[in-house]
């Protein structure tokens, strides 16, 4: 009897942890599996708070995983360069507060180039932690790319140079993780300048190797 109770509990926990459905039309209930061999009716349990992401079991830093209670259903990835030779999340945070009068750094992630943060180091900003809209495509409230697109900034000016090998590897790992978690297709990975509706900009720089990134993602 105790053993049967454990199986039922485990089954319920598995259903709660799965949450792989993106279907808004689905009723907010799920069926718990039953360990009973008899034809007893399945038990109805309530869904946990909204969480539409796919639960991917990847070996990624824990701070890449948002808290389920606030996690958004992101639909695109937008890549930027900082257009500076150096920088990190804290520096961009200060600049965006002081010069742009935003509530902080506009991006969700910043990937360092070895100047003010590690080469290939991925910094997670308050926007990703809070799952709040970004300010990386114009800073305009209501802009779809800010609302639904994940903003990743690589430190560097890629009109002049290319990202470092470590930056590209970190970017590919991060984008791959985000693609799987939110079911984002390759066609929804944009450079800032190719984002539908974005203002005219060189970002992420003429030398940013977008086709190389997509090649890395297919491996």
Interface ranges with Zn ion (CB under 5 A):
80, 192, 203
Nearer to Zn ion, 194 or 215 (CB): 194
CB of 160 to Zn ion, least distance (A): 16
- Shortest approach of Zn ion to residue 149 CB, angstroms? 11
CA angle 104, 106, 107 (to 5 degrees): 125
Cβ-based burial of 152 (10 A; exposed 0-12, middle 13-18, buried ≥19) = buried
Number of C-beta neighbours around residue 38 at 10 A: 5
The total of other beta-carbon atoms located within 10 Å of residue 197's CB is: 10
CB of 203 to Zn ion, least distance (A): 3
Considering beta carbons, is residue 120 or 151 the nearer one to Zn ion? 151
Nearest distance from C-beta of residue 156 to Zn ion, angstroms: 12
Nearer Cβ to Zn ion (72/192): 192
**Of 122 and 203, which has the nearer Cβ to Zn ion?**
203
* Least Å from the CB of residue 152 to Zn ion: 10
Where do we find the tokens 């991925």? 122
Comparison of 51 and 80: residue with beta carbon closer to Zn ion? 80
């Amino acid at each position: 009897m105790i053993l049967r109770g454990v199986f039922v509990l485990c089954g319920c926990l598995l259903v709660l942890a799965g949450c792989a459905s993106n279907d808004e039309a689905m009723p907010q209930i799920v069926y718990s599996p039953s360990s009973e061999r008899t034809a007893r009716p399945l038990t109805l349990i309530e869904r946990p708070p909204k969480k539409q992401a796919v639960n991917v079991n990847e070996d990624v830093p824990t701070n890449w995983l948002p808290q389920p209670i606030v996690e958004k259903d992101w639909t695109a990835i937008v890549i930027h360069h900082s257009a500076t030779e150096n920088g990190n999340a804290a520096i961009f945070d200060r600049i965006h507060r002081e010069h742009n009068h935003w509530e902080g750094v506009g991006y969700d992630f910043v990937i360092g180039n070895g100047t003010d943060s590690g080469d290939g180091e991925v910094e997670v900003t308050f926007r990703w932690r809070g799952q709040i809209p970004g300010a990386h495509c114009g800073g305009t409230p209501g802009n779809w790319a800010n609302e639904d697109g994940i903003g990743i900034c690589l430190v560097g000016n890629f009109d002049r140079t290319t990202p470092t090998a470590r930056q590209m590897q970190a970017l590919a790992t991060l984008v791959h993780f985000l693609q799987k978690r939110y079911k984002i297709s390759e066609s929804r990975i944009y450079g800032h300048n190719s984002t539908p509706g974005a203002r005219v900009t060189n970002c992420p720089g003429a030398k940013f190797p977008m086709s190389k990134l997509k090649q890395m993602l297919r491996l």
